[in-house]
């Protein structure tokens, strides 16, 4: 158990190497690469389940810590660990990997060796991002996840794949370079890359950041993460990348890569720069709310199903930012929950889009219509996934969005928080508009195009890879405490830091209590 996290990071990498090794064998068959990849990713998921045992309710310290010196000359360490926040993101990653591999089963025919190799490397890097407790290591994994995704989009993507891949790469690396500058600056100030050490130094007040330094550091980190989320108006890489990526790529992009942004904001921006977080909260919340409404409105008018789902991510991720910067337990827990929930439901939606793309080689909504008649299973399950994305109670989407809005309503981070909440709440109406309108044009009604009348319904593999996601939708909707209780302590750890200014902080504010405050009657 001691090196469990390292094992979870390395297992997919070993899987990738195993595929390469197998390809060198004389009797190799190309169709076996995916089996190797699947075996390793399933194994990775199964061992990652062991993490749950280590994080019980109330545990706030990092667990399963591995901490060894990595680059002695600059004191960079290989320091990994999980707490209640990263636990679920790691599990989401390891769960989505086998699903992504299964979704590529028949869709990917060219260059399978490198395809599955990149997927495996990506898996290792993504887990690394969520468990790194050393800033340099975090940066390394953060960038390492970029490269395989760049190739996945650029080689196996749709028609405009090269444009999308380069746009994705440049956008995100501009952000991460700024973050690197921030990391180096922190190193100069604290003499270490170690997150826990820096945090403890800040808590102890032995080395405090000058406000100006904190201002720039917050911006550097926030810029990198906001691109990744993506926060309006930094979102335009996302529709292109999502749309052009192969199905597995979209699932992982939406499911995991976007969460690196919100995870980073929660872990580093709120954790390391609480004063600036408070100062920037109105800006972030404003952008989040614009993103919620804007993303939904633009999603509504997309002629391409995949672009529609992509823009809906902008809207859903806006809720996460809103929750994080409400600095209330409900809002932040809701934000974490929304991250998981978005990964599950949007991941599922991209799978559905992939299924019909594989059958018809088009994603235009107008090319479909009446799919419920030839594909009843597809229709039923697609409707369920859409409803979870809409936020129907007892499915996963509702809990997160409700808690976020409850948190932002009771928040002291901004003035007139209730107006912000009411505006954000309209996003829930818009979600119903764009999803149901899409369903109406794709799934229901008469079959208008004869090419659709003979489409095959989902096969066992396709239903099978959806089942875990559908079960999670119900589980997360009906028994959210399974998840929320385990993350509560860690989220509160961050919240107490960001909600209450440290003594002598430069932005001491009297508005720190979360207690309900009565409005004037």
Partner 1 sequence: MENNLLSLIIFAPLAGAAINWFLGRRLRNEKFIGVIACGAVAVSTVVAFYLAFKSGGALRSTEPVFDNLWTWIQVGKFRADFGLAMDRLSGTYALFVTFVGFLIHVFAVGYMQKDQGFYRFFAFLNLFMFAMLTLVLADNFLLMFVGWEGVGLCSYLLIGYYIDRKEAGDAAKKAFITNRVGDWGFVMGIMLTFFLTGSISFFDKPAQGVTSALQTIAGMSAVDPFTWHAIFAGGVTSIAILLFIGAAGKSAQIPLYVWLPDAMAGPTPVSALIHAATMVTAGVYMIVRCSAIYTHAPTAMFVVAVIGAATALFAATIGLAQNDIKKVLAYSTISQLGYMFLACGLGAFTAAIFHVITHAFFKALLFLGSGSVIHGMHHEQDMRSMGGLKKYMPITFATMLTGWLAISGIPIFAGFFSKDEILWRTWSAGTFSLPSPPWSKALWFIGALTALLTAVYMTRMMVMTFWGSERFREKHVDHVDNASGIHDDAHHDDHAVHEPHESPWLMTAPLVVLAILSTIGGFIGVPYALGSLAGLHPTNYIEQTLGPVIAKVPGGKTESEPAAAEPIWLSHPPQTTDSAPAFVSLDETAASHSAEEIHGERLLALVSVAIAVLGIVFGWIIFRRRPLLALPRILENKYYVDEIYDATVINPINAGSREGLWKIFDVGVIDGFLHTIGEVVLEGGRAIRHLQGGFVRAYAAIILLGALAVIGFFAYYGVHAMRLLP
In this structure, are residues 148 and 168 in contact, taking their beta carbons and an 8 Å threshold? no
Residues 46-75 that bind partner 1 (CB under 8 A): none
Task: Indicate whether 372 belongs to the interface with partner 1 (CB under 8 A).
Answer: yes
Task: Indicate whether 275 belongs to the interface with partner 1 (CB under 8 A).
Answer: no
- The span from the CA of 385 to the CA of 473, in Å, is 8
In this structure, are residues 133 and 174 in contact, taking their beta carbons and an 8 Å threshold? no
In this structure, are residues 152 and 107 in contact, taking their beta carbons and an 8 Å threshold? no
- The span from the CA of 274 to the CA of 328, in Å, is 13
User: Cβ closer to partner 1: 208 or 362?
Assistant: 208
The end-to-end CA distance of the chain, in Å, is 57
Peptide bond into 230 cis (omega under 30): yes
Smallest gap from residue 120 Cβ to partner 1 (A): 30
Smallest gap from residue 285 Cβ to partner 1 (A): 16
Among 330, 349, 458, 469, binds partner 1 (CB under 8 A): 330
User: Cβ closer to partner 1: 21 or 429?
Assistant: 429
Task: Indicate whether 4 belongs to the interface with partner 1 (CB under 8 A).
Answer: no
> How distant is the alpha carbon of residue 405 from its chain centre?
19
In this structure, are residues 408 and 485 in contact, taking their beta carbons and an 8 Å threshold? no
Among 373, 475, 505, 506, binds partner 1 (CB under 8 A): 373
Q: What is the dihedral of CA 306, 311, 313, 317, to 10 degrees?
A: 170
Smallest gap from residue 478 Cβ to partner 1 (A): 7
- The span from the CA of 134 to the CA of 31, in Å, is 39
Alpha helix ranges (H) inside 69-194: 84-103, 112-131, 135-156, 161-190
Residues 401-460 that bind partner 1 (CB under 8 A): 402-403, 405-406, 409-410, 418, 421-422, 425-426, 428-429, 432-433, 436-437, 439-440, 444-447
Task: Indicate whether 399 belongs to the interface with partner 1 (CB under 8 A).
Answer: yes
User: Cβ closer to partner 1: 32 or 373?
Assistant: 373
Task: Indicate whether 350 belongs to the interface with partner 1 (CB under 8 A).
Answer: no
Smallest gap from residue 181 Cβ to partner 1 (A): 6
| Secondary structure E strands in 277-322 | none
Task: Indicate whether 113 belongs to the interface with partner 1 (CB under 8 A).
Answer: no
3-class SS at 210?
coil
User: Cβ closer to partner 1: 90 or 443?
Assistant: 443
* φ, ψ for residue 68, nearest 5 deg: -130, 155
User: Cβ closer to partner 1: 31 or 460?
Assistant: 460
Task: Indicate whether 521 belongs to the interface with partner 1 (CB under 8 A).
Answer: yes
**In angstroms, what is the C-alpha Rg of the chain?**
22
Smallest gap from residue 433 Cβ to partner 1 (A): 6
Task: Indicate whether 286 belongs to the interface with partner 1 (CB under 8 A).
Answer: no
User: Cβ closer to partner 1: 77 or 167?
Assistant: 167
User: Cβ closer to partner 1: 46 or 301?
Assistant: 301
Peptide bond into 232 cis (omega under 30): no
Task: Indicate whether 518 belongs to the interface with partner 1 (CB under 8 A).
Answer: yes
Smallest gap from residue 54 Cβ to partner 1 (A): 22
**How many Cβ atoms are within 10 Å of 461's Cβ, its own excluded?**
12
Beta partners for residue 71, in sequence order: 76
Residues 205-234 that bind partner 1 (CB under 8 A): 207-210, 212-213, 216, 233
- The span from the CA of 15 to the CA of 307, in Å, is 32
Smallest gap from residue 458 Cβ to partner 1 (A): 15
- The span from the CA of 390 to the CA of 438, in Å, is 12
> How distant is the alpha carbon of residue 282 from its chain centre?
23
- The span from the CA of 339 to the CA of 318, in Å, is 11
Smallest gap from residue 437 Cβ to partner 1 (A): 7
Task: Indicate whether 184 belongs to the interface with partner 1 (CB under 8 A).
Answer: yes
Residues 351-370 that bind partner 1 (CB under 8 A): 370
User: Cβ closer to partner 1: 9 or 146?
Assistant: 146
CA angle 454, 457, 458 (to 5 degrees): 150
Task: Indicate whether 329 belongs to the interface with partner 1 (CB under 8 A).
Answer: yes
- The span from the CA of 260 to the CA of 254, in Å, is 10
Task: Indicate whether 479 belongs to the interface with partner 1 (CB under 8 A).
Answer: yes
Q: Which pairs from 68-73 meet CB under 8 Å and 24+ separation? A: 70/134, 70/136, 70/137, 71/136
Task: Indicate whether 466 belongs to the interface with partner 1 (CB under 8 A).
Answer: no
- The span from the CA of 259 to the CA of 463, in Å, is 26
In this structure, are residues 254 and 342 in contact, taking their beta carbons and an 8 Å threshold? yes
3-class SS at 65?
strand
Task: Indicate whether 464 belongs to the interface with partner 1 (CB under 8 A).
Answer: no
Task: Indicate whether 488 belongs to the interface with partner 1 (CB under 8 A).
Answer: yes
Interface stretch with partner 1, choices 69-77, 121-129, 223-231, 371-379 (CB under 8 A): 371-379
User: How many binding residues for partner 1 (CB under 8 A)?
Assistant: 72
Interface stretch with partner 1, choices 95-103, 271-279, 328-336, 348-356 (CB under 8 A): 328-336
3-class SS at 48?
helix
Residues 138-167 that bind partner 1 (CB under 8 A): 167
Smallest gap from residue 168 Cβ to partner 1 (A): 12
- For residue 126 the two structure tokens come to 């993504």
Residues 70-89 that bind partner 1 (CB under 8 A): none
User: Cβ closer to partner 1: 392 or 455?
Assistant: 392
Among 456, 481, 508, 512, binds partner 1 (CB under 8 A): 481
Interface stretch with partner 1, choices 74-82, 121-129, 389-397, 459-467 (CB under 8 A): 389-397
């Amino acid at each position: 158990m001691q090196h469990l996290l390292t094992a979870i990071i390395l297992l997919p990498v070993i899987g990738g190497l195993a595929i390469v090794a197998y390809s060198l064998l004389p009797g190799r068959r190309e169709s076996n690469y995916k089996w190797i990849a699947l075996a390793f990713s399933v194994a990775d998921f199964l061992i990652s389940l062991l993490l749950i045992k280590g994080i019980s309710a109330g545990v706030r310290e990092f667990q399963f810590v591995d901490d060894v010196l990595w680059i002695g000359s600059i004191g960079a360490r290989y320091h990994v660990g999980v707490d209640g926040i990263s636990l679920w993101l790691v599990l989401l990653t390891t769960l989505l990997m086998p699903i992504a591999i299964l979704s590529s089963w028949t869709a990917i025919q060219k260059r399978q060796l490198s395809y599955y190799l990149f997927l495996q490397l990506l898996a290792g890097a993504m887990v690394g991002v969520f468990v790194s407790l050393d800033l340099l290591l975090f940066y390394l994994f953060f960038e390492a996840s970029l490269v395989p995704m760049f190739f996945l989009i650029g080689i196996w993507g749709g028609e405009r794949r090269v444009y999308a891949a380069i746009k994705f790469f440049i956008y995100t690396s501009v952000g991460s370079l700024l973050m690197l500058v921030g990391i180096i600056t922190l190193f100069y100030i604290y003499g270490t890359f170690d997150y826990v050490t820096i945090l403890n130094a800040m808590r102890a007040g032995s080395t405090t950041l000058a406000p100006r330094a904190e201002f720039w550091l917050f911006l550097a980190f926030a810029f990198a993460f906001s691109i990744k989320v993506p926060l309006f108006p930094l979102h335009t890489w996302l529709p292109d990348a999502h749309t052009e990526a192969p199905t597995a790529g979209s699932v992982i992009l939406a499911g995991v890569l976007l969460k690196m942004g919100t995870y980073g904001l929660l872990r580093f921006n709120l954790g390391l720069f609480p004063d600036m977080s408070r100062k920037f909260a109105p800006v972030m919340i404003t952008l989040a709310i614009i993103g919620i409404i804007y993303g939904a409105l633009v999603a509504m008018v997309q002629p391409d199903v995949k672009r529609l789902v992509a823009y809906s991510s902008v809207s859903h991720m806006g809720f996460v930012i809103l929750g994080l910067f409400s600095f209330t337990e409900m809002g932040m827990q809701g934000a974490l929950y929304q991250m998981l929930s978005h990964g599950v439901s949007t991941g599922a939606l991209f799978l559905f889009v992939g299924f019909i793309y594989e059958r018809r080689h088009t994603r235009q909504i107008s090319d479909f219509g009446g799919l419920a008649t030839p594909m009843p299973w597809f229709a039923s399950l697609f409707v369920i996934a859409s409803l979870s994305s809409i936020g129907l109670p007892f499915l996963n989407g509702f809990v997160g969005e409700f808690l976020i809005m409850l948190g932002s309503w009771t928040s002291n981070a901004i003035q007139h928080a209730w107006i912000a909440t009411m505006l954000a709440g309209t996003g829930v109406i818009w979600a119903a508009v764009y999803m149901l309108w899409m369903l109406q044009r794709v799934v229901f009604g008469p079959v208008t195009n004869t090419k659709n009348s003979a489409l095959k319904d989902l096969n066992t593999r396709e239903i099978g890879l959806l089942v875990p996601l559908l079960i999670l939708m119900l589980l997360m909707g009906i028994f959210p405490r399974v998840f929320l209780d385990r993350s509560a302590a860690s989220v509160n750890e961050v919240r107490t830091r960001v909600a209450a200014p440290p003594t002598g902080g430069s932005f001491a504010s009297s508005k720190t209590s979360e207690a309900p405050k009565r409005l004037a009657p």
